[in-house]
Amino acid sequence: DTCQNFHCKRGKVCHADRQGKPHCICQDPAACPPTKDYEHVCGTDNKTYDGTCQLFGTKCQLEGTKMGRQLHLDYMGSCKHIPPCTDYEVDQFPLRMRDWLKNILIQYYERDLNASGILTEKQRNKVKKIYQNDKRLVAGDHPVELLQHDFEKNYPMYVYPVHWQFHLLDQHPVDRLLTHSELAPLRASLVPMEHCITRFFQECDGDQDKLIALKEWCHCFGIKE
């Protein structure tokens, strides 16, 4: 089977021609495997798709058109009303996000104490210092005033989690720049809970080149040069 090790990008599937030569053709959205309700996704056209297969298959079929260029994965789950993000809320967003990233790393570290595999040894050593710090603000729903105070008081604790998340997303290619598609995994999972994330990333792109550089990312999270 010539298609066995032939890779096609999302929205396309491999098809062998009469000579057995593999080609990538658009996935037929109607031929996508059935999905559960929790696998539904919302597109930037505010339409609910049964899953990413159907969304990217539709985008492929619209290739070359304005609709095709504008269609992306907006967030996980069925489309719903996302309230607009106020100036006050977008200002508070980095406080919650920094705290969340720190606690994600703490969770990974605790899991690795029993069975290693999530973090590398270098990452574990970095997180160990945060984990063992007795001044650490434990996970919880804290008021923004407390988050702000903790950030100012324990600033070094928040630097690594912000850098870690950037490099986790910076994969295709690794170039210290985040594209829309590299940001998508984080954005798409958080939009239903953090409705300011879209505006936050738009405003992070200071030079409006549709790429978020490491310097821009750190500036948005209040990390000093």
CATH 3.30.565.10 for the 87-221 domain, yes or no: no
Q: Could you tell me the pTM of the whole model?
A: 0.78
Tens-place pLDDT, residues 136-162 = 998 888 999 999 999 999 999 999 999
Secondary structure element (H or E) that encloses residue 172, with its range? none
Residue 197 pLDDT > 80, yes or no? yes
pLDDT interval class at 49 (50, 70, 90):
very high
Say what the pLDDT of residue 172 is.
Answer: 82
Tens-place pLDDT, residues 57-92 = 999 999 999 999 999 999 999 999 989 999 999 999
- Residue 141's closest CA among 105, 193, 192? 193
Which CATH architecture is the domain 12-76 placed in? 2-Layer Sandwich (3.30)
Where in the chain are the domains? 12-76, 87-221
Say what the pLDDT of residue 80 is.
Answer: 92
Say what the pLDDT of residue 192 is.
Answer: 85
Q: What is the average pLDDT value for the chain, to the nearest integer? A: 92
Residue 20 pLDDT > 90, yes or no? no
How far from the centroid of its chain's Cα atoms is residue 43's Cα?
Answer: 15
Residue 38 pLDDT > 90, yes or no? no
What does DSSP say about strands 12-16 and 41-43: parallel, antiparallel, or unpaired? unpaired
Contacts 24+ apart (CB under 8 A), 217-220: 217/162, 217/166, 217/178, 218/162, 218/163, 218/166, 220/94
